[in-house]
Amino acid sequence: MPPPNVCARINHQVTSDPALARPFFDFAEHVRSRSYVMQNYIFDDFESSVLLDQGVESLLPETFQPACEAPLYTFEIGGAGDKGEGMFALRDMPAGSLILVEHPIIVAPYLVGLSVSLAEVYAKLLGRLPHRMRDEVLKLYSGDSHTLEEIIRCNALGIQLEVPDVPHPELTTHRAVFLHTSRCNHSCGPNARWEWDTTTFSLYLFTVRPIVKGEEITIQYIPSTYPRHERHASLQDQYGFTCCCSYCALPSQDAILHSDTTRVALGQFWKTLPPFEEWCLDQTLPDDRLVKLHLDALRMMKQEGLQVLDSERHVDAIAMCYGALADPDMFRAWTERVRDAKAMADPAQAQALVFAKWLSNPTSFPAWGWRKTFCGRQKDLSVL
């Protein structure tokens, strides 16, 4: 078992990290409860070397679904100055474009509860890969000589895997290394975001705003709604660098304070927003209250380069508000934006018929006129 001081340090690390969602974590019990499986997953001409808790592995699909076809000639890997290498766009891409689809080359638990060292665990995972793939992993750090443990820690992304409902379950967060996406450098105003899909065991990388040919493609390593000093401390602690992106290199303390205040407000936006149903009923709230709040959020997101926070959700909410206000022109205008964004993410346009119906006949929208009809009444709109 790990020494008490090690357990205490790891317990503090896990319980104080809201992203891990384990406020009562006990590392000693975590270690006692673990039983691992190490194996390779084969995908056509690609292999993933994986270490998983047996309970987690049992919840994965017996056969992974085929990933959607990746687009061609969207990016290249090249020099990014002091940052080493990075990913760069080979062509112009509008917001919502799919950049790449890829399987992880290495997957391991966020915390490995074994008596052997992490260096040994990662060496075994690396050793299960073909020689050419091992070399690609080792090239992921292009600076001075680093250990394999450091290479994986600095290049891994945190994917989520389902865990069984048992005492002291595995953490849902797992470290996953990707040959291409792990080359993306961090920005506090990233122009791309990634999504993990367990059913295909794949990562999908999308643009969050238009990217021009030759522009570097960036992602966020940590939540970018933290104040600047917290972002810098977290990046230095986890990845060993200080961010110098344009959203950090601000000209004055006043500019830094304004940016920090804006980012914190965006991080708290959905927690402080009046619920849609409450706005529909509450006559003390102005008709344009929610619309103004969402428009202000979109403005702040553009100012801070934080379209990664899901601007589509705000656009969708504005369309709903105009539907509840029974404003056909504004409802159509914003619903068209929602439709176009969803069509970009889902070329099959599974919802195309629904949007066509709403656009041709706005009164068919389920919440049409709610604000006008129910304002001032005590009624549960959730059942309508």
Beta bridge partners of 217: 87
Residues 304-327 have a mean pLDDT of 96
Residues 20-46 have a mean pLDDT of 93
Nearest CA-CA partner of 168 in 64, 45, 29: 29
pLDDT at 116: 84
pLDDT at 93: 96
**Is the separation of the CB atoms in 85 and 78 below 8 Å?**
yes
Q: Which residue has the tokens 């230095």?
A: 236
Give the Cβ contact number of residue 268 at 10 Å. 11
pLDDT band (50, 70, 90) for residue 45: confident
Beta bridge partners of 211: 93
Q: Which residue has the tokens 């599974």?
A: 350
**Is the separation of the CB atoms in 272 and 296 below 8 Å?**
no
Report the relative pairing of strands 46-53 and 106-109 from DSSP bridges.
parallel
Query: Please, which residues have CB within 8 angstroms of residue 167's CB and are 6 or more apart in sequence?
Result: 29, 33
pLDDT at 109: 96
pLDDT at 374: 84
Q: How far apart are the first and last CA of the chain?
A: 56
- pLDDT per residue over 109-145, tens digit each? 999 988 888 999 999 999 999 999 999 999 998 666 6
Residue 292 has pLDDT above 70, yes or no: yes
Helix (H) or strand (E) holding 109, with range, is strand 106-109
**Is the separation of the CB atoms in 41 and 50 below 8 Å?**
yes
pLDDT at 158: 96
> Do you know the residue count of the chain?
384
**Is the separation of the CB atoms in 105 and 136 below 8 Å?**
yes
Q: How far apart are CA 199 and CA 300, in angstroms?
A: 35
Token pair recorded at residue 341 = 């964004």
Token pair recorded at residue 34 = 């673990």
Residue 9 has pLDDT above 80, yes or no: yes
